[in-house]
Each structure stands twice: as structure tokens, then as C-alpha cells.
Amino acid sequence: MRTRSRQGGKKVLIIGLDGVSYGMIAGSAKRPSLLPRLREFFAAEALAPLAASIPEISAVSWSSFMTGTQAGEHGIYGFVDLVPGSYQYRFPDFRDLKAEPFFDELGARGLRSVIINLPATYPARPIPGVLISGFVALDLEKAVYPARYLPWLRQAGYQIDVDAGKGRERQAEFLADLHCALKVRRQVAAMLWEREQWDVFMFTVTGTDRLQHFLYDAYADPGHALHGEFAAFFQEVDQAAASLLERAEAMGNVEVIALSDHGFGPIRSEVYLNQVLAKNGFFVRENSDAKGLTAISPRAKAFALDPSRLYVHRQGKYPRGGVSAGDYERVRSELGQLFAGYEVGSSKAVRRVFLKEELYSGSQAAHAPDLVLLSAPGIDLKGGMEKECQSGTSHFTGMHRQDNAFIGCSRPDLLGGTATIFDVKKLIYRLLAT
Amino acid sequence: MKGVTVWFTGLPCSGKTTLALKLSAELKRRGIISEDLDGDVTRKYLSKGLGFSKEDRDENIRRVGFVCSLLTKHGAVTTAAFVSPYRSIREENRKLIGNYVEVYVKCSLEKCMERDVKGMYRKAMAGEIKNFTGVSDPFEEPEHPELVVESDKETEAESLKKILGKLEELGYLGGSRDIAIPDYLRRDLVRIMAGQSFPDLPTFVTHILSQYAAQNSAAGDLSQSEEDAVREKLRKLGYIS
């Protein structure tokens, strides 16, 4: 096989591990690392906790990763949003991203990127290099640029994602699907590594997130029937990472970043914010049989969108909004007080209530939620529009955490200052400049 | 881009493979993947067992030409870097392949010998290698190549520029000469380019087109069925409730 002609300059390999917590890779005396080869690659000082975006969900956090900005600039506040001036839900995607991702900026400098399975990049559009979109991609045909790779991906059996529906009841099948999807993704990565000329190569695993949503209890409990299966999937992820690291080492001019977009932890309870709002008189619908947000009453002062976003039902902003500009701060303050003191099982459900101006600034800040809640560990905040109680449990056993994502870097001397997901883009640029 | 074979011919160590690789890399940067053939590959997989007599050399080049003709017929861009010293077999391939661009990589014997890190010329002159082109076997210069590049007088970049120019001139690479740029786009180009530095025009144009594609696609929203599919995916993971 002909070798590529690579001239000058460093290249960067990025391994994205969706939802992998710092503890899972770093390990502890009680619980060894689930990713020992990756752990071994990064010396202790080259591995650090990373703060995710708020809210700590992939669409927001990966958008922040790729643009180096918070949602006030990139405009992605969640998986779901409202059509402006209405109560209709819409699902923001890559076309809604308002800040420039690193691969576009690098393209302007003549550098090429290969991006595989990065969430929040659907539908794929032309980039300087190759893009295979990740979650929530629907149709492979719209998830691949350039299109010439589409037949090959189809032939290889490439899957954008597994059917998460199996995670609830058909877990053996779910695990098999995760392995299968990862296996093909590794093959695709190996092919693109060889075939493409690139300066940044990014390979993202999302199965790590899927598994933890449904089987975090299997990780936490060594006696769980699927404890070994859980570890086996991470072992395969570790192997995938290790084979990329070997390729990088063989090339000799590749620096490495590994990171997650958020951490994970066990769920103690789910809290349904719209039910809490309803119980406390903030959320009211036209009649008790009505569903969804379209039946919101003019008397409603606030509503919530998944996962932890609160909106004041303002006059002029929403068709039936009843809160005047003069009352806005008062209502917002009341909401803050309500959730700051809200308890589940005699412990606080919310670690911190953020005002929008504390988190967001920039051209898209006008679309920001008025308040965002950062949950206490073990409390999974949800909109819960159709729930009948304020809290409860479900088949999900794991939940995202904002404070325990991780980052590893082959250059620990450059890692300093990379404390949040917003800092990673700068780190990529620093590594390319070495 | 329509199928074409770019055939590099010239003395050993004249720079054929280097230029073919440069061309391939530039095409790849423009989003065009090429199939690259050279002696090391074909002698191993296609013509194993053939020697370096005139008959065997002709047979080797004939086989390569056949592969090129198939690739070209199916729309592939192929670079072929071979000494291919004999005029008659090159002409035979030209007819067989059709979309054929012959690049004569001209280089003085002295310069080729200077570049010969493997010492093949030295061995040929000592009689250790038989039928070595330029020493003990003739190189029949092309009479009507599409292009001559002089690798002992030009830089690689200059030669590459000439090759790309020829491919554009012959209609194998899309040029922009006939595209009228609308005023609004011209204004935007000036605005966007101001204060930014781009290494070259193709990089700049690719960047601009990517931005336009992003802006244009922003106008589209998901269809109802796509929305339903997204909602279902999100619900299964508990991202919406």
C-alpha cells in the first residue's frame, strides 16, 4: 500500500467517548479502570476531569466541543426546542449550529478533518474532509459527506446508532447490537485512516452512553447478571482506542486527545419539572385532559423543557404568555427559590439554579431558557409533561452528570487550562501548532 | 470529473512517481479520489514473473494499459507512473484508453543519476543490471505528449501546476472560467475574505462553499416523518419525556 505523503505539522487524533466518566477511565482502589489501555497511554498528569455544558446533554456539549463556545453563541440548547412564537416542538440539528466548528476553521487554513460519528452533526454537509454524522442522525444517505463513501458504508453494514428500544427489555440483543455497531465503526475508521489525508481524525463511540442509560446498575453492582457484559463492551471500546493509538504512534507526528461530552452516574430518582411547576401553581393547562404544551393556559407562569430548562411564560414571546415584563424578574426569582429548596426524599434535588445570564451570552442568547437547573447527583431532571406525579423511577438506571466527564491529552504540558468542554477546541489548535 | 488516465513516462528516477503522488494528493484535496498505479505495485500483483526484455516490458505496460482502460471507462481518475520506454506500446495504450493524457517527465541523465539513491544507474553501468533504460536500453521520447514537464529545471510545484492546467484545459478538471459570479456572492466573498488569510484559492473557495451549503441547508427543517423518528429516538433514551 502506498504511504501517504504527510509534510510538516502535527496531526491530532481525537477519541470521543460519549458519557464516559472520569472515574470509569481513571479507576480507583475499589474499582479498576474500565479502559486500562487508554488509561495507560495517558500518564496520571495527562488525564483530568472535564466539566460538560449545562445542560449536560450530548447535543449541547458536543456542539460546545466542536465550536469552543457556549449555547449563547452556538444556539443549541437541547435536543428539543420551541418554534419561535409558538408552542410547537422542533428538533434543532446541525443546520441550526450558529458558531463555526473547528473543522471548518481548519479547512480555511487548508487542513482536513475526518469526523466519524460526532453527535449533533446531522444532516451532514460539505466540510473540508469527511463527515459521518452521529446521533440523532436518521438516514445514512444524509449522514455522509462526501457521498462517494455511502455505498461503501452500506456494504460494510455501518449503523449510525443501535435501537435503544432494546435496552429496556431485550438487553442481550441490545449488547450484541452495540458490539456489532462498534465493530463496523472501527473498520470504517481504519479504512478512512488509510485512505484519507487528514490533519484531525475524530472517532466517537456513543455506545458507551447507551449502555449506561440502561445498565448503569450492572456497572455499579458486581453481582448483577450483566456486570461482565458491561465490562466486556468497554473492553472492546478500549481495544478500539488502543488500535487508534497504535496507528498514531506508528505515524509519529500525531498528538492525541480523548474526552467525553459528559459523565454518568446512578439514578436515585427522576423529577418531573412540569409536575412540580403545576403543583406549585406555575404551570397550568386549559383543561385537565389536554396534552402537551399547546394546551398551556394564559394563567401559566412557567413551563419546562427537557432536561432541566425553565422558561417564564412571557407576554409577547409566547402566544398565550401572561407574565409581563414588569413581573418577569419576580417570577424568575420565585422559580429559583422553588427549585433551590426542592427536595426528594429529604435531600435537595437541585445542586444549583442558574440564571440564563450566568451561563449564556452571544448572538443566540435571546433563545436561552430563563433558568437552568443543575441536578444533585442521582436526581434526573426531566420535563415530564405527561407524568402524573412529581418524581419517580423508570427503567433507566444511569443518568448524565455535568461534573465528571474526562479529558486526556498526549501533551500534559498543554492540557493545563482545559477544564471545560468549551476549552477543548483551543487545545486542538495548540496541539496542531506544536 | 470524467474518467481519465494521466500517464507519466520518463527515465528511471526522473520524478514520475513523485509527480503522480503530488497530483493524486491535490485531486484528493479537491474531493477527487484517484487510483494510483506504479511499477512497484503492478510488478508485484499484475505482472509478477515478467522480466525486463522488450517483450516483457511491453507486456507489462500492455496489462497496465488494460487496467487503466477499465478504470477510465468507469469514470475513475488514474495516475500511472511507468518508465514505459517504448513509443509503440504507449501509442497502443493511448488508443485503448481513449481519455489519455501523456505527461513526459523530462530529465537529464545526469540529474536522474544524481537522484538515484538505490544506485541502480551505477549497477547498470557496471553491467550488473541488464536492459536498464537510459544506460543499456533506449528511451524513446514521446513525439506528441499532451505535456512535457522538465523535472530538472522546474520545481515540483511548477510541474504540478502545469499538469493541473493541462487537465483543466482538456476538460478533465472543472474550471470556473465560464461561471458568472453573481454580485451578491462577489460582495460576500470580499466581506468574508477580508481579514482572513487562505493558503490558496481552492481552499478559500471550498471554505466559502461549505459556508453557503450550511446557510442554505439551514432553511430546511425536518419533515413530519423525520420529526416523528427523532422524537422516538429521543424518547427511547429518555431525552424527552
C-alpha B130 chain-centroid distance: 31
pLDDT value of residue B31 = 74
pLDDT of residue A45: 83
In angstroms, the separation between the Cα of residue B216 and the nearest Cα of chain A is: 9
Q: Do B40 and B152 belong together in one domain?
A: yes
C-alpha cell at A179: 458490539
Residue B178 lies in a domain: no
Q: Exposed, middle or buried, A155 (CB in 10 Å: 0-12/13-18/19+)?
A: exposed
What are the chain A neighbours of B35 within 8 Å (beta carbons)?
none
Please give the Cα distance from B69 to B78 (Å, whole number): 9
How many contiguous H segments (helices) and E segments (strands) does chain B have? 10, 5
Q: Which of A80, A95, A107 sits opposite B217 (nearest CB)?
A: A95
* Partner residue opposite B36 with nearest CB, options A2, A97, A135: A2
**Environment class of residue B6 by beta-carbon count within 10 Å: exposed (0-12), middle (13-18) or buried (19+)?**
buried
Contacts of B205 in chain A (CB under 8 A): none
Last residue of a domain, one of B110, B144, B169: B169
Domain assignment present for residue B210? The answer is yes
> From the centroid of its chain, how far is CA A390?
25
Task: Provide the CA A109 distance to its chain's centre, in angstroms.
Answer: 28
> Kindly report the CA angle at A301 between A300 and A304, in degrees rounded to 5?
90
Contact indicator for A350, A273 with CB cutoff of 8 Å: no
B117 and B206 fall within a common domain: no
Mean pLDDT (whole number) for A35-64: 95
**Minimal CA separation from B54 to chain A, in Å:** 27
Same-domain pairing of B137 and B33: yes
Question: What does the block give as the cell for A281?
Answer: 401553581
Q: Are residues B130 and B71 in the same domain?
A: yes
**What pLDDT, on the 0 to 100 scale, is given for residue B219?**
45
Query: What residue type is B133 in one-letter code?
Result: T
The question of ipTM being above 0.95 is answered as no
Q: Which residues of A fall within a CB distance of 8 Å from B209? A: 126
Residue A295, pLDDT score: 87
* Residue of chain A minimizing CA distance to B204: A108
CB B238 within 8 A of CB A148: no
Task: Check whether the bond before A222 is cis (ω within 30° of 0).
Answer: no
* B36 and B132 together in one domain: yes
Q: What does the alpha-carbon distance between residue A194 and residue A419 come to, in Å, rounded to a whole number?
A: 33
In this complex, do A135 and B206 lie within 8 Å of one another by their Cβ atoms?
no
Which of A47-56, A83-92, A93-102 is predicted least confidently?
Answer: A83-92
Mean pLDDT to the nearest integer, A23-44: 93
Q: Are both B84 and B155 inside the same structural domain?
A: yes
Identify whether the C-beta of residue B217 lies closer than 8 Å to the C-beta of residue A123.
yes
Cα separations in angstroms, A241 against A37, A42, A244, B5:
8, 12, 5, 39
The pTM assigned to this predicted structure is 0.69
**Which of A125, A136, A394 is facing B233, going by the closest CB pair?**
A136
Residue with cell 488509561: A39
Residues of A in contact with B234 (CB under 8 A): 79-80, 91, 136
Asked whether residue B122 falls in the same domain as residue B209, the answer is: no
Q: Which of B169, B193, B221 is the last residue of a domain?
A: B169
**A positions 122-141 inside 8 Å of B (CB):** 123, 125-128, 135-136, 138
Residues of B in contact with A146 (CB under 8 A): 31
From edge to edge, which strands make up the β-sheet containing A254-259? A47-50, A405-409, A254-259, A11-17, A200-205, A113-118, A129-133, A144-145
**Min distance B8 CA to chain A CA atoms (Å):** 17
Which residues contact residue B236 at a Cβ distance below 8 angstroms, ignoring those fewer than 6 apart? A163, A164, A165, A167
Cross-chain residue pair A136–B211, CB shorter than 8 Å? no
Q: Which residues of B fall within a CB distance of 8 Å from A91?
A: 222, 227, 230-231, 234
Cα–Cα distance, A205 to A240 (Å, whole number): 9
What is the pLDDT, as a whole number, of residue B215? 53
Strand partners, A255: A12
Give SS3 for A323. Answer: strand
Q: Which amino acid is at B239?
A: Y
Side chain identity at residue A329, one-letter code: E
Q: Are residues B160 and B216 in the same domain?
A: no
**Rg over CA atoms, chain A:** 22
User: Hey, what's the cell of A361?
Assistant: 451570552
Cβ neighbours of residue B84 under 8 Å, at least 6 residues apart?
B7, B9, B61, B90
Alpha-carbon distance A434 to B17, whole Å?
31
Residues of A in contact with B203 (CB under 8 A): 107-110, 128
Tell me the pLDDT band of A341, cut-offs 50, 70 and 90: very high
Residue B174 lies inside a defined structural domain of this protein: no
Could you list the residue range(s) of the whole structural domain that residue B206 is in? 183-236
Residue B138 lies in a domain: yes
pLDDT at B52 (0 to 100): 84
Cβ-contact A110, B199 below 8 angstroms = yes
Least confident of A229-233, A250-254, B124-128, B176-180: B176-180
Max mean pLDDT range (A10-24, A95-109, A407-421, B221-235): A10-24
- Asked if residue B192 and residue B117 are part of one domain, the reply reads no
In a domain, residue B111? The reply is yes
pLDDT tops 90 at residue A2: no
Cis previous bond, B41, omega within 30: no
CB under 8 Å to A332, separation ≥6 — which residues? Answer: A312, A355, A370, A371
Helix axis angle for A424-433 and A58-67, nearest 10°, is: 30
In a domain, B212, yes or no: yes
Q: Is residue B177 part of a domain?
A: no
CB-CB under 8 Å, B234 with A80: yes
Domains of chain A with CATH codes: 11-267+398-433 (3.40.720.10), 269-392 (3.30.1360)
- The grid cell for A189 is 475508521
Restricting to A residues 340-369, those with a Cβ less than 8 Å away from any Cβ of B are: none
- Closest-CA distance, B227 to chain A, in angstroms, reads 7
Residues 85..104 of A with a Cβ closer than 8 Å to B: which? 89-91, 93, 95-97, 104
A257-261, A315-319, B182-186: lowest mean pLDDT where? B182-186
Residue B176 forms part of a structural domain: no
Between positions 32 and 51 of B, the ones with CB within 8 A of A are 33, 36, 41
Say yes or no: B187 and B155 in one domain: no
How many CB pairs below 8 A link A and B? 104
Average pLDDT over chain A, rounded to whole?
94
- Distance between CA B173 and CA B81 in Å, rounded? 20
- Closest-CA residue of A relative to B45 is A1
The residue type found at A17 is: L
Flag if B206 and A104 touch (Cβ within 8 Å). no
- For every one of its 241 residues, what pLDDT tens digit does chain B have, with 9 covering 90 and above? 678 999 999 999 999 999 999 999 888 877 788 899 988 888 888 888 888 888 999 999 999 999 999 999 888 899 999 999 999 999 999 999 999 999 999 999 999 999 998 899 999 999 999 889 999 999 999 999 999 999 999 999 999 999 998 998 888 886 444 445 556 566 666 666 666 666 666 666 666 666 665 555 544 577 888 888 999 999 999 998 8
Paired residues of A370 in beta bridges: none
Chain B: closest CA distance from residue A223 (Å): 25
Q: How far apart are CA A419 and CA B153, in angstroms?
A: 53
Q: Does B233 touch chain A (CB under 8 A)?
A: yes
Q: Does B213 touch chain A if contact means CB atoms closer than 8 Å?
A: yes
Give me the CATH number covering residue B62: 3.40.50.300
Q: What's the whole-number mean pLDDT along residues A65-90?
A: 93
Residues B143 and B209 in one domain: no
* Exposure class string for A264-275: b at 16+ Cβ within 10 A, else e: bbbbbbbbbbbb
Number of domains in chain B: 2
pLDDT at A292: 81
Q: What is the pLDDT of residues A274-308, one digit of tens each?
A: 999 999 999 999 876 767 888 899 999 999 999 99
For residues A382-401, average pLDDT: 95
* Lowest mean pLDDT across A209-223, A352-366, B163-177: B163-177
Determine the distance in angstroms separating the CA of A258 from the nearest CA of chain B, rounded to an integer: 24
Q: What's the pLDDT band for A171 if we cut at 50, 70, 90?
A: very high
- Dihedral, CA of residue A55, residue A56, residue A58 and residue A59, to nearest 10: 10
CA–CA gap between residue B28 and residue A343 (Å, rounded): 59
Cα B3 from chain centre: 11
Bridge-partner residues for A405, per DSSP?
Answer: A50
Q: Which of A89, A146, A307 sits opposite B31 (nearest CB)?
A: A146
**Same domain assignment for residues B101 and B220:** no
Strand residue runs (E) in A124-244: 129-133, 144-145, 200-205
| Closest A-chain CA to B193 | A108
pLDDT digits (tens, 9 = 90+) for A118-159: 999 999 998 999 999 999 999 999 999 998 999 999 999 999
Picking from B141, B169, B197, the residue at the C-terminal end of a domain is B169
C-alpha torsion sign, points B180, B185, B186, B190: negative
- How far apart CA A203 and CA A186 sit, in angstroms, is 9
DSSP class of A306: T
> Cell numbers of A50, please?
472535564
